[in-house]
Amino acid sequence: MQKGAILVLSGPSGSGKSTVINAASEEIGEYYFSISTTTRAKREGEVDGVDYFFVDREDFEEDIKAGNFLEYAQVHGNYYGTSLKPVKEALKEGKLVIFDIDVQGHRLVRAKMNDITTSVFITPPTLKELEKRLRARSTDDEAVIAKRLQNAKSEIAAAGEYDFTIINDSVEVAAKQFVTVSKAARLKQSRESREKFIKEWFGEE
């Protein structure tokens, strides 16, 4: 069975992260895309386990006490968080766990599961190109675009914290690079695996 691994994906809003994952999905093997858990009510058309994991407040707070969240926050009276339970389950099943999270989230994953984590920063070639893409989406007003561009400037400053950077100039090329990074992520050994291998190599087990 393939070994489970974690792949953290970050990049400015508008950098094409979802497009790249979709284009690469058939070639990266079995993967689990980490989704948030929330206590807010399900909206029309949303599917439990696809859009979010919907739980009640009591269950969420029990999981906080048990240390089952990578991170969580309260927004407008509802909890939102990244539960480690489905992540651990997917890793046990040998899946590649993909996190699409921000720079702060990447630091949290590194702090908790650095041993089996590989990370990649996806970005358009320039700030100008990012602005062009955000405007082409026609979904955000000027204030939102300005905020996204401001955020992108601070995010790009943290790109050096990632193992790989993919410049998404062409989706086809970026998807191929993402497949390569995904395969590399599966090859990364945890300290425990390395120690076990060394003992076996010497015939100690």
Domain at 1-30+96-205, CATH homologous superfamily: P-loop containing nucleotide triphosphate hydrolases (3.40.50.300)
Average model confidence (pLDDT) across the chain: 90
Flag whether pLDDT at 69 surpasses 80: yes
Q: What is the pLDDT of residue 72?
A: 87
Between 164 and 100, whose confidence is greater?
164
Flag whether pLDDT at 193 surpasses 90: no
Distance CA 152, CA 145 (A): 10
Domain coordinates in residue numbering, the chain: 1-30+96-205, 34-93
- What is the greatest pairwise CA distance in the chain? 65
Q: What is the pLDDT of residue 168?
A: 95
Strands (E), 11-68: 31-33, 37-38, 53-54
Q: What is the pLDDT of residue 1?
A: 57
Q: What is the pLDDT of residue 70?
A: 86
Distance CA 126, CA 36 (A): 30
Q: What is the pLDDT of residue 205?
A: 62
161: its two tokens: 């914290």
Q: Which CATH number fits domain 34-93: 3.40.50.1580, 3.40.50.1000, 1.10.1060.10, 3.30.63.10?
A: 3.30.63.10
